[in-house]
Amino acid sequence: MLHERALQPQLTANGVTDLAGNTGPASAAAATTTLTLDRVAPTVSSITPSVALTNAASATFNVTLSESVTGVAAGNFTLVTSGLSASSITSVTGSAASWTVSVATGSGNGTIRLDLSSTSPTIADGASNSLAATFNTGSVLTVDRVSPTVSAFTSAVASPTNSTSIAYSLTFSEDVSGVAAGDFTNAGTATGCTFAPSASTASGGTPITVTVTTCSTTGNLQPELAANGVTDTAGNTGPATGSATTTLTLDRVVPTVSSIAPSALLMNAASATFTVTFSEAVTGLDATDIDITTGGGTATGCTVDAPAGSGTTWTVTLSGCSTGTVTFGLKAGAVEDQAGNPGPATQVDAATVTVIHDTTAPTFTKAIRVVLRSGVSLRSASTTSAIPVLITWAAADDATGSGLDHYKLEVSLNGGLPTVVALPTSLTTSFSTTMPTSGTVAYRVTACDVMNNCTTPSSTGTLSPRIIQQSSTLVKYSGTWYLYKAASLSGTTLKWSRTKNAYATYTFTGRGIGFVAIKGLGRGYVKIYLDGKYRGHISLYKTGASLGRLLAWQSGALTSGKHTIKLIVEGTFGHPRVDLDAFAVLK
């Protein structure tokens, strides 16, 4: 049976005879009406989405049939989805063999396939042949609303680094476009960085290179891709964040020498140790980095031992040096910091060290001695008031020695262990103090040179300072003397005279003597004799407020033994008075 063919009946020539017996017609005669016979049902040729991938809320599918039809409606179609919800058909438009079905893609991510799943309502061609079969093998529409992300953003460069050009590898989760230099910034502290991606597009899982240059000499580098800087195939922008997981410390600063400190500028040995401190942790220091020819030193035989240390602090020892001078120099580029920067930029020389071989202690040029200190008042009226004294000494080192460095003064009370006395300076050679007038006192001093060669101590021996009141039976008077009482006086009494040539004598055993008097208005000169020899005279006159309990005169150091002091009133005109409060004796 014919399914679709044109129909036009035709009478053959001479096919009929009329009543007279004539045949005709002379030629074949076709019907004037031609009919088309169509018994072929229409079919669906294809159903395809307008785009294969979208992130939009709506999409369209193109439905193509084998011939022109009518009656196509939404009820003929269904949506087959995966991963999506609330997807729906919103409209059907078109004519003839081409129709468009609009759909709402719903929410979520997944796929949509449009099926012609029902022949009702009827879809028919012009011959009223109805669509006989459904169609469920159309192309799938993928709905992708997932933003692209950064899968990896790393650098193989070790931190810290001194490199001026640093490569980072950047990988995305899917195909993207729109990668541009302006999308990158530095999340670290380094400034002035320039970013150059190797391509504007990237395939998912395949890295592109981002080269970073022109950064500042110091700081941290952590490239960051701007949020929504790239676009995937579905039109989704991303990433939400895109910082590199590798943070590099940039360091193009040359390490410097903070200090080179010898253990001392004067060495009493054939070796000299230097401590080298750097501005940052360094490596690579060895003996060949040390220059001991710089500075024109005079010491010979010096060798450089292997440096010891790590980080910022190293020690270097020069050994085998003769007497003389040596200067330690650290060569340029001797070390490297952790970023590989060599330093120092130029050679750094330390202070010149003098090497000597000094094992001889200084010697005393003046042994320690203690004398009474005149011109100072006793501290109190007590008969046991401390006595002011002056301690002196002196020492010297030989011409080839290292030189005096310090003295150590010690005191021992009542035979006890010596304690160190704090001196004003390390090379003080005199010290003013007071001594108690009960018990015993001993001082000793030690002199040490720079190399700490020290003398045997010079000692005062045991001293017994005492105050002898003028009322003592050991004090003898001649001429007219008067007794005066006052709480401010030593022992609360004194004797005074204004009679010319009146005198007082006192015989004592000791190594020093002084007398205590008042200095003020009305007072005059007193002559002083010691062991029968005239030692001069002093004036006790003073304007203004008087000075009581004054140690008016002292003998200086005497040979330890028996001595006699004699005080004679001169009888000064107009102010002849002489007061005798007490004697101070250094035994």
pLDDT at 132: 84
Residue 6 has pLDDT above 60, yes or no: no
Question: Is the whole model's pTM more than 0.95, yes or no?
Answer: no
Contact 550, 516 (CB under 8 A): yes
Note whether 431 and 533 are same-domain residues: no
Specify whether 485 is located in the same domain as 579: yes
Same domain? For 481 and 582 the reply is yes
Same domain, 14 and 52: no
- Pick from 514, 525, 529, 518: which is nearest to 566 by CA? 529
pLDDT digits (tens, 9 = 90+) for 165-223: 999 999 999 999 999 999 999 999 999 999 999 999 999 999 999 999 999 999 999 99
- Both tokens of residue 349? 């020389």
Would you call 416 exposed, middle or buried from its count of C-beta atoms within 10 A (0-12, 13-18, 19+)?
exposed
| Domain termination residue (choose one: 437, 463, 489) | 463
**pLDDT one-digit tens code per residue, 38-92:** 789 999 999 999 999 999 999 999 999 999 999 999 999 999 999 999 999 999 9
CATH number for position 564: 2.60.120.260
CATH number, domain of 405, equals 2.60.40.10
The reply to whether 294 and 385 lie within a common domain is: no
Task: Answer yes or no: do 242 and 283 share one domain.
Answer: no
**Among 75-79, 104-108, 272-276, 420-424, the least confident range:** 272-276
Cα 113 from Cα 48, distance rounded (Å) = 9
Domain boundary among 143, 169, 187: 143
The helix or strand, by DSSP H or E, that contains position 543, with its residue range, turns out to be none
Q: Say yes or no: 129 and 211 in one domain.
A: no
**Model pLDDT for residues 481-490, shown as the tens digit of each residue:** 999 999 999 8
Looking at the structure, do residues 482 and 544 belong to the same domain, yes or no? Answer: yes
Note whether 265 and 351 are same-domain residues: yes
Residues 383 and 395 in one domain: yes
pLDDT tens, position by position, 7-25: 567 778 887 888 888 888 8
**Mean pLDDT across 510-521:** 95
pLDDT of residue 2: 39
pLDDT band at 34 (very low <50, low <70, confident <90, very high): low
Buried b (16+ CB within 10 A) or exposed e, 274-291: bebebebebeebeeebbb
Which segment of 312-326, 349-363, 511-525, 555-569 scores lowest on mean pLDDT?
349-363
**pLDDT tens, position by position, 478-513:** 999 999 999 999 889 999 999 999 999 999 999 999
Residues 372 and 278 in one domain: no
Q: What is the per-residue pLDDT for 241? A: 81
Please report, for the domain that includes residue 205, its CATH number: 2.60.40
Last residue of a domain, one of 111, 143, 175: 143
Angstrom distances, CA of residue 258 to CA of 219, 278, 312, 317, 548 = 22, 5, 9, 18, 61
Residue 130 has pLDDT above 70, yes or no: yes
Residue 457 has pLDDT above 90, yes or no: yes
> Average pLDDT, whole number, for the chain?
92
The answer on pLDDT for 99 being more than 90 is yes
Q: What is the pLDDT of residues 542-586, one digit of tens each?
A: 999 988 899 999 999 999 999 999 999 999 999 999 999 999 999
* Cα distance between residue 438 and residue 419, in whole Å: 19
CA dist 473 and 366 (Å) reads 38
- Percent of the chain residues topping a pLDDT of 70: 96
Please enumerate in sequence order all residues whose Cβ is within 8 A of that of 399, keeping only pairs 6 or more positions apart, or say none.
Answer: none
Q: Which pLDDT tens digit goes with each residue over 330-340? A: 999 999 999 99
Q: How far is CA 557 from CA 230, 369, 372, 375, 474, in A?
A: 102, 8, 8, 17, 22
User: Structurally, how many domains does the chain consist of?
Assistant: 6
> What's the domain range around 179?
150-251
Cα(159)–Cα(152) distance, rounded to whole angstroms?
18
Which pair of structure tokens corresponds to residue 454? 């020290």
Considering the domain architecture, whether residues 510 and 582 belong to the same structural domain is answered as yes
